[in-house]
Amino acid sequence: MSNSTYDYDVLVIGTGPGGEGAAMQAAKAGLSVAVVERHTSIGGGCTHWGTIPSKALRYSISSVMNALGSPVLRACGVHANPTMKQLRSSAQQIIGKQVSMRQTFYDRNNVPVLVGQASFVDDHTIRIDGQSDQKVTANKIVIAVGSRPYHPPDVDFEHPRIFDSDTILGIDEKPFSITIYGAGVIGCEYASMFRNLGIKVNLINTRAKLLEFLDDEIIDALAYHMRDQGVVIRHNETLDKIEGVDDGVILHLKSGKQLKSDALLWANGRQGNTDGLGLENVGLTPDKRGQLEVDEQFQTARDHIYAVGDVIGFPSLASAAYTQGRAAARHFSDSVEVESNLRIRDIPTGIYTSPEISSVGKTERELTEECVPYEVGSSQFKSLARAQITGRTAGMLKILFHRETREVLGVHCFGAEASEIIHIGQAIMNQPAGHNTIDYFVDTTFNYPTMAEAYRVAALNGYNRLF
């Protein structure tokens, strides 16, 4: 299958989830593949600055706080106040394991990792400035360079108390208070983490609701629980200026409000890492946030150049990036259309707030706008024996289904283990017609006690609404 005209059949720029997915799929198809990584370790932002370290920190915080909140430990006189360094220590171990494991993927599939900054010379030639400057050619090129926190020019990120979602992971001391500007997924996740540490949190939302792409009931539940935990949420606010002072940061809003806190986390948007790629040499122009436009096959305006992952924008999930990379590789290696290969339209959300959120499929808002006759089945976690045993009773599972066919149209979960629970509903949604209904949950025996039992309870709740 290889084309000897070029050094490689495929060159992938970036080793995050999108790049890895594309490289491995292409290698399995028998193509000669190389990847370019500008950092000394593979894995991209997902492994080093985003998903892995932030979720490891979240787990450390929740584990420690749950343990310290145990009545048994309190009765034994156990008290502790872990430092940020102690809380994030496990993250470094996990990052090392991830890098080592992922390196074996490239090694056993004979995919060389070329270290350096990649830039286009022409349509099929890439210059790599790094340990050994070189030029390589490839028939197909996949851009998977990821993104970084967006830095507006009027915010002083050099100030020791002003952070973005990358640098916040290196914070040395727990602040007494923090203001988070931006209430998207990253802002909400960090608001939950810091509040669980007992830090006072101001969460500033530039929109009318939190995470507007979610189901309205889930949005309301998230807002309620965050406020119940002590997070102060301010909606429909716009930045005027950020003033860093010796003892903190003052956030000035255009509404006239001023908020002072020990630290500020800027969590308002991401910027694609396309600067320095020499895209002008191949006729590609990213948008103002450095993102590239692609079609449904992940092809850019140049058919032989693909782009996947955060660099193409929404949904900006590690899981989505890996699937997009595989889909792009299947398209250029096997001529398989995206619609007939991987379920790129069936990507669940996974939001690691406290409690966490996950959903797949349509929301009630969307079904109402589309005039779909749907019904709702819900289950409150507080009624589940497993939730009562673990003490994590906050949350619910909601199934949206067609009134006539009983086909599952959407599943929305808020609570402990939501990102795991969602996959059961996802699997049933994608069964052939007649097998993708709530009947499966009604007629199936679930282990008891489990959180998955929520599906049976929700399905019966919905079934009883039919007439």
φ/ψ of residue 232, rounded to 5 = -90, 115
| Identity of the amino acid at 335 | S
Whole-number Å distance between alpha carbons of 315 and 312: 9
| Identity of the amino acid at 78 | V
Whole-number Å distance between alpha carbons of 271 and 344: 23
Ligand-binding site membership of 99 (annotated) = no
Ligand-binding site membership of 184 (annotated) = yes
φ/ψ of residue 37, rounded to 5 = -135, 125
Ligand-binding site membership of 310 (annotated) = yes
| Residues 6 or more apart in contact with residue 159 via CB below 8 angstroms | 244, 249
Ligand-binding site membership of 69 (annotated) = no
Ligand-binding site membership of 188 (annotated) = yes
The answer to whether 114 and 35 are in contact (CB under 8 A) is yes
Ligand-binding site membership of 28 (annotated) = no
Whole-number Å distance between alpha carbons of 300 and 294: 5
Whole-number Å distance between alpha carbons of 388 and 199: 28
The DSSP bridge partners found for residue 10 are 33, 140
Q: What angle do CA 175, 351, 299 make, to 5 degrees?
A: 120
| Percent helix, percent strand, percent coil in the chain, to nearest 5 | 35, 25, 40
Ligand-binding site membership of 391 (annotated) = no
Q: Which two tokens stand for residue 446?
A: 């679930």
Q: What angle do CA 321, 327, 331 make, to 5 degrees?
A: 145
Ligand-binding site membership of 371 (annotated) = no
Ligand-binding site membership of 216 (annotated) = no
Ligand-binding site membership of 457 (annotated) = no
Whole-number Å distance between alpha carbons of 136 and 412: 47
Whole-number Å distance between alpha carbons of 462 and 419: 22
Q: Is the peptide bond before 153 cis (omega within 30 degrees of 0)?
A: no
Ligand-binding site membership of 413 (annotated) = no
For the beta carbon of residue 249, count every other beta carbon within 10 angstroms.
26
Whole-number Å distance between alpha carbons of 219 and 360: 15
The answer to whether 18 and 145 are in contact (CB under 8 A) is no
Binding residues for FAD: 55, 310
Binding residues for NAD(+): 182-189, 269
Binding residues: 55, 182-189, 269, 310
